[in-house]
Copies of this chain bind each other. A is one copy, B any other.
Amino acid sequence: MPPKINFSKAAITKIEPLTSEAARWVQIQKIHFNDASGKPRDWEFASRTTRVPGSDCDGVGILAVLKKPSGPELLLQKQFRPPVGGVCIEVPAGLLDPGETLEQCAVRELFEETGYIGKATRSSPLMFSDPGFCNTNMKLITVDIDLDDPRNQNPQSKPEEGEFIETFTVPLKEFSETLRKLESEGFKLDARVQNVADGFDLARQYGLFLNK
């Protein structure tokens, strides 16, 4: 597992309004549409400028599972995220490159961000992050990491310049409780992580969960 990162220097110094003309990564658009009764209306939304032309998907999130003798563990990350003003708990994720499948993207991003070589075992449907506000979307790819594979003995991440990502694992059965503990310590929770834990809790609350 890569070393811990000291995030104490990471901080916002200033936030300022940005004009559409000056923005490189984010754009806002106005949609003219007819509602279900046929009446013309309009709506504002935000989008990324980075989506691969011709693709209908921005990228992937990765549910990377390490099968340990003590039980499966989920791989999570800590990363300072300026928009939320703090260190966020996330799954490994990345934007799709031209020509690759989502599963290839997941295996590539996992390798780059953590050094682990994995195998995609499940793809979620396409899901939209906040459909009333923006069009950003992703699929969640489940990737198994075989710890018996010699290539996974001493994984080394390959961070890009300026990329500071700390990787850690959580026993799957303690997933939901761990996120609440991390929030109490001041970390921000990515909805793609917390909602998966909400699924655990919902199954547990209504008796669909095995207590092991």
Contact = CB atoms under 8 A, between A and B. Distances in A.
Interface of A: 5-7, 9-41, 43-48, 63, 65, 72, 74, 80-85, 88, 90, 121-122, 124-138, 140, 142, 162, 164, 172-173, 179-180, 183, 188-203, 205-210, 212
A202 B199 contact: yes
| Best-surrounded residue of A37, A40, A81, A180 (most CB of chain B within 10 A) | A81
Contacts of A164: 35-37
Given A125-B189, A125-B194, A133 B39 contact: no
Nearest to A40: B13
A15 B36 contact: no
Given A74-B202, A124-B194, A125-B180, 20 more contacts: A5-B36, A12-B32, A15-B32, A17-B20, A18-B28, A19-B21, A20-B20, A26-B28, A28-B28, A43-B82, A81-B131, A130-B191, A140-B194, A172-B202, A195-B198, A196-B196, A196-B198, A199-B200, A200-B208, A203-B209
Given A32-B12, A206-B172, A198 B199 contact: yes
A20 to B, nearest CB: 5
Contacts of A207: 210, 212
Contact of A23 (B14, B21, B44): B44
A162 to B, nearest CB: 6
B209 A210 contact: yes
Contact of A12 (B21, B33, B142, B206): B33
Copy number in this complex?
A: 2
Contacts of A84: 128, 131, 135, 137
A45 B83 contact: yes
Please indicate which of the listed interface residues A24, A46, A136, A188 has the most CB atoms of chain B within 10 Å of its own CB. Answer: A46
